[in-house]
Structure formats: C-alpha cells, structure tokens
Chain A
C-alpha cells in the first residue's frame, strides 16, 4: 500500500485534519487569530479534558464507558487542596487523590468485570454516589488559592518555552499511554476484548482481569487529572468537574475512539479534546455568541458517529457467490 493511501486509512486523520481546518479557516476569517496567546489558551484549556480523554480511551476500546470521571476528578481536586491545607504535604495529598481515583476505578471495575454489570449503569450510579460523598465531605466549602499546594499552583500558572506546564504534563502522559497501548501485551488485549468479546474468551484472554485493571487505570489517571484541575483553576468546590464526563466521551468519539470498541488510540482522544477546545476558541474569535458552543459540539459528535458508521459499513465481506 502506498504511503499516502496508508495515511488516509489512519483513524486519527479526520480529527487531526478537522483541527487544522478549523484553526486555519478561523485564521483566515480573523486576522492574527492563531497567535501565541490563542495557542496558550488552547493548551491550557484542553489539559484536563485531554488527560481524562486518554483515560477514557482505556475503557471505550473495550466497549465500556466510565461516566463517573467528572465526579471523581472534582473530588480528587478538592481532596488535594483539603489535605494540603490540613498539613499533609504535597506527596501525600497527591497520593490520596490518586488513591481515590483507584478506589472508584476498582469498584467500577469489579462490578463490571466480575459481576458482569453493564458499565453504563454502574458508572452512572457511581457518578451519583461519588458526587454525593464528595458533597458531604466538602460540606459546601471551597478550596481557595492559599490552600492549593504551591507546586500545583506554580505548574498551573507557568510555562516552559511558552507552553503551559499543564499541557506538557498531558503530553507526557499521552506519550506514555500511547506507548503502553501499543507495546504492552495486556493493553493489546483491551482492543481484542472490544473488537470481538466472544472471540477474546475463546482465545484464552483473561477478560475479567483486563477489564478490572483497565478501570483502575482510568481511575488512577482521573485522580492525577484532579491535580491538573486544581492547578488550572486554582480552586475547587463541590461543583468541580460537574458535567465533564460528557465532554470527555465526546472528545473520544470525535477523536476516532469508536463506541463500538476495538479501535482508536489515545492520540485520537487527545486530538479530539484539542478539536473541541479549538472550536470553542474559534467560536469566540469569530464573534459567534458563546451560546452556539454546545450545539456545535453536539452536531460534531453526531457527525463523527455517523462518519464512523458509514466508513465501517462500506467494508463488505464476501458472500456466497464470491462477489465483494
């Protein structure tokens, strides 16, 4: 297959192209659109969602979903500030946040993998339960700037060669996750499970174990994303993370991580997050009222799902009479 043809078959191409096109068209319409400031806005705004989208990829490729991430990331952000302000130090606070994510992931994972409950319902339930526990724990308080660990604060505000540190962290996680999803045998099993669950069992893959640990991985990254959330806004409150799960799933779907499972990459999810954020910025720059943002997002996701469906329906298998 020629290089160009191979390139067009890359799953991540549409979203990457869309990103370039959106940014490009806006630059044409609005002079000086793509300035350093816009780039920084883009990178800063995307970091939390991008990290969560990477994490969500682990479960979506297995044909599952994790809707509890919004509640968990908010709780994690709050937890870091809260324990730091109580004198626990940065490392312990971070550990607690990640531990929280791991715990939620483990409960989700257990129910889905071993009790074989549908992940939609399980994570919908944990979305509720985690938010409820979070609200109770927070008792209406807010984490203010002084309670944010200085390192987190610093990372949220500063840049390396002009690129926000939060973005760099996201990029680093992306590269590691990308490597793992491609080169670690157990991670490859996740794709098999999503592609053909029955065949995965027959092939001897320990499906339950993989599903369980995938949810834990998602949880751990969500805990980490709590730090990014805290650093981004320099505050946290019981509403933190509300509604993020849908944006995260949207970023994945738009980025080629199909709900049908078995395909897509963390890179695609990352680009999906960038695209959504890029569109937000473009809408602002083009003078379109901010109110169009959600409608555009929604239409975009529908388009992505329909495109995905169309592309997979074009691949036909051979039938009785030998024709394709």
Chain B
C-alpha cells in the first residue's frame, strides 16, 4: 500500500483517496486506487495510458462517482458527482485541453458567473483589476482585456489556473499540462506551479515526462492497471525505479510476435513536413514489417499518419506507396492505392456510433458490394459477418448498433472495415487503447498474422510494452521530429522513454 513517507508539511493530507474502484459497463477503470495529497506539495501522478489516472481525476473533478472506496477533503467526506460542487469544495482540475469561452475576455473567463459587482451590476473595472492581480500573482502578464480566442494553450492554462485560484481552490490538478507546451512554456508553468506551492496549495501534476516530474515534484504516486502501485518522495527514488513501477510486467510473454521475412519496400515517406505539426519525417516500411511509432501524446504521431493517409494535407515532402506517388489530401485515392488507416479516436473518427455493425464494417468497400449502381444489403451483411468471424467479433445481431459493443469489439469493427479493403499498408493508431487484455491479445495476433501474409504495418502506440513487443523496428517522435530509430533488439523501455522524453536516462 502507500509508504508512510514524511510529508513536507508534516500534517494530515488535505485530500485523501482511499481504495477507490470504478467500472464502466464491463471495463474496470479503477480497481484499487489511492492517493494522499498534502498542502504545499507538488505531487506527481504517474502511469501509462490506461492505468486509470484519467478516471481518478474525473472522480475528483466531479464528473463521476466512484463505485467503492472513500474520498475525504480536510477530513470531511468529499461530495462526488457534481462539477459545480467539486469546485465549491475547493478542487479544481485543469485539463490538457482547456475549456475557455473564446469570445469573452480573459477577465470574464476567470470570473464568469461570479463577476465582482457594484450594486447589482457587473463592475468591469474591478473585474479587470482583480484578474490582473491574479495573473500578476502567477507571474504571467496576461492582458485581462484580451479575448480568449487565439490564445496559446499555455496561456489558456494560466487563465484556468487563475480561475481556480479565484474560486479559492485548495487542490489544483493539472492533467498532462505540458503535453502541448514548448520548452520555454514548460519552464514558465513550473514557475507558476512553484508559486502555487508557496501559497500552500496542493498541486497534482500528471505527466509522462519523467525529467519534468523529477525537476518539479516532491512526491509521486504510480498507478498501473487501475491500481496504485506505490507512492514515494521523489528524493527517495530514481527514474529507473519509477519506470520499473510503471511498466511492471514482463514484456515478452504477452504478445505472440511471429518472425517474418520482410519483402519489398511498401511505404516510403520522405521529408514530410507540416508547419506547426511535424518536420522532416522520413522512414520506410517493407512488406511483412511492423514499424512501431513511439512518442508522448502530442508529439505529432497521429498528425503524421493523417497526413500520409490524406485526411490532412502537408506542406513539403512526399509519400510513395509501392513506388508510386500518393497524392496529397485524397483519402479515397490512398485507399484505392492500397492504404488503410485505423484512426486514433475510435468513436469520433473510426465509427458511426448509432449505425449497425453491418453498415460500419462495409462502408469502405461499397463499390465492391454493388453491381453497377445497386448496392446489395445482403452483401453488406455478408461482408460484415465474414470479417466478424475472422476477428472473432462478439455481437448479438449484425444489425445491432456498434455503440452496444464493448470497446474491444468496437475496435474489431474498425479493423474489419479496413481489412476488408485488402490493403498493402495498414496504419493503426493506438490499436488497443481502452481495450481489455483478452481482446488486446487477439488484435496483436491478428496484426502479426497479417504481417506474415505480407502486409506492411505502421503501429502508433503510447503503450510501451505493445510497441516493444510487436515491432520489428521502432521510431520515436518528440515535438514533431523523429529523434530515434531502433532495431528490435536495441529497443529497450528506457531507451525508448529516454528518446521520447528527451531525458538522459540510460538502460
């Protein structure tokens, strides 16, 4: 359980989360999570994707209620399930994507609904000066009169922090705040965090970047698979130990990697660049190969894949498939040439949620299922059923809508729809995110099988074991650039994390 480490303030924790669990349908997001937050401390919350950090934070934000376990604030039970109440009780969560009002001024964004008044009417001058005071108190000279639209993510976060302070929050949680920030902006955020610490707030800092964690925080808690693995003072631990706690399991057992002879070059990307997203990306994938693409969230991996497939455009560079140039921004053409993209966001980009399994699985191959103009509904269903069998899809009726399926089965539908096009190149972006372990294995087995049959596969993944277990080669992205390239044997967890985070830790 939790180590009893000496707290920096020497007292009881301000916020105590004890052995909470939370399940959504069949998916257990939290199994046994605990964390103690102390005033005047910056506390790092670490864990891979799917470890349960996000669910825990949402419980604190009032978005969810936990199924079991206790949350107490200042010794009193913390009322869950209401965002408004969470704010009133003094817990403020600042998300990776801040949620401001673009048309309102910064001052109004901070004080909306709680504007300072003169008599019964909004006192604009007072509101502006109060906002200015808050910004100055954080050390950032933002203009309270500026509209929020167009503000950089970094500045938006400052506004959210100011808002949190104006609600007299005791606990300020920052969820992956540095993911979209430049190095300079990160430094600035650190200064702000230290000021909050000096003001005796309890700050939670969620991040994948260990160098940042070690530079900024006093205490850390590691989660894995929905449970708290351990909690220590930063001073008492090392990056290597933290990585060990985060990754935990043995890598080789889980994923049935079949060794395959690689063939001709299928995909050749040269010097691909898109202003503001990525720069100078070059790599090659051969038939039968699985290329893993590692990197932190926000490093530009998905953007690159979207540009290759054609959903997004790009500024410079070329993409060649089997020697032929792939035209920009034309997904239909890319598909016709033999490319397929299983997108990152299953719900928004990959599926038509209210529509049936049959419709979803066949949407990419309708031409083949039509004789002339006439589309055969029977063929639609047949194609879905056939692929359903191949993928061992579990469903009640082929006409059921996909939103009834579990995450794993939904992902299978997306895979079905793309495998049905018989592509030469399959790009999968976070293929097993939010999926149960059993289905994960099935997906991995499927991908390995397809590689054996000659498909070239590019796999973007934030899950280290998956990248390391499945790939023949691994490339690592950081802040829009390709910073490392490993053969299978050289790709160790620390080497990859080191490249992804830019820290200096060696294996």
Binding site for B on A (CB under 8 A): 1, 182-185, 188-189, 191-192, 194-196, 198-205, 262-263, 312, 315-324
Interface contact B276-A323, CB-CB below 8 Å? yes
Contact in complex: B122, A317 (CB < 8 Å): no
A-B contact count (CB 8 A): 97
Interface centre among B121, B298, B479 (most CB of A within 10 A): B121
B115 at the interface (CB under 8 A from A): yes
**Which B residues lie at the A interface, using CB under 8 A?**
83-84, 87, 99-104, 108, 112-113, 115, 117, 120-122, 124, 143, 145, 149-154, 180, 182, 184-185, 275-279, 298-300, 303, 479-480
Q: Is the CB of A199 within 8 A of B154?
A: no
Establish whether residues B112 and A188, one from each chain, have CB atoms under 8 Å apart when the complex forms: yes
CB contact under 8 A between A321 and B277, given known A185-B117, A188-B112, A204-B87: yes
- Supposing A199-B101, A202-B83, A315-B150 touch, asked if A320 and B480 sit within 8 A by C-beta, the answer is yes
Q: Are A312 and B479 in contact (CB under 8 A)?
A: no
* Contact status of A316 and B113, CB under 8 A, knowing A183-B122, A196-B102, A263-B103: no
Q: Please state if B83 and A188 are interface contacts (CB–CB under 8 Å).
A: no
Residues of B within 8 A of A322 (CB): 182, 184-185
Listed by A's residue number, 15 A-B pairs whose Cβ atoms lie within 8 Å are A1-B143, A189-B112, A191-B103, A196-B100, A199-B99, A199-B101, A203-B112, A205-B112, A262-B101, A262-B102, A318-B153, A318-B180, A319-B180, A321-B182, A321-B275
B276 touches A319 (CB 8 A): yes
Q: Residues of B contacting A198 with CB < 8 Å?
A: 99
Residues of B contacting A1 in the complex (Cβ-Cβ under 8 angstroms): 143, 145
Q: Do B121 and A321 have beta carbons less than 8 Å apart?
A: no
What residue in chain B is nearest A199 (Cβ atoms)?
A: B99
Q: Is the CB–CB distance between B104 and A323 below 8 Å?
A: no
- Taking the closest CB of chain A, its distance from the CB of B274, in whole angstroms, is 9
User: Which residues of the partner chain A approach B184 to less than 8 Å between Cβ atoms?
Assistant: 322
Closest CB-CB distance, A252 to chain B, in whole Å? 15
User: Which residues of chain A have C-beta atoms less than 8 A from B101's C-beta?
Assistant: 191-192, 195-196, 199-200, 262
Chain B residues closer than 8 Å to A204, beta-carbon distance = 83-84, 87, 113
Q: How far is the CA of A182 from the CA of B117 in the complex (A)?
A: 12
Cα A316 to Cα B150 in complex, Å, equals: 5
A318 contact set on B, CB distance < 8 A:
152-154, 180
Q: Which residues of B contact A312 (CB under 8 A)?
A: 149
> Please, how many angstroms separate the alpha-carbon atoms of A203 and B84 in the complex?
7
Residues of B within 8 A of A317 (CB): 150-153
Contact B300 A262 (CB under 8 A): no
Contact present for A320 and B300 (CB under 8 Å):
yes
6 closest pairs, A vs B, by CB? A322-B182, A262-B103, A318-B152, A319-B276, A315-B150, A195-B101
A200-B83 Cα distance, complex, nearest whole Å: 12
- Closest Cβ of chain B to A197, distance in Å, is 10
Smallest CB gap from B183: residue in A: A322
Query: Which residue of the partner chain, among A183, A192, A263, A324, contacts B112 with CB atoms under 8 Å?
Result: A192
| Interface residue from A184, A200, A202 paired with B122 (Cβ < 8 Å) | A184
Given A262-B104, A263-B103, A324-B152: A189 touches B279 (CB 8 Å cut-off):
no
Cβ–Cβ < 8 Å partners of B480 in chain A: 320-321
Residues A202 and B277 in contact in the complex (CB < 8 Å), given A262-B104, A317-B151, A321-B480: no
Distance (Å) between the CB of A288 and the closest chain B CB? 37
- Given B100, B152, B300, which contacts A199 in the complex, CB threshold below 8 Å? B100
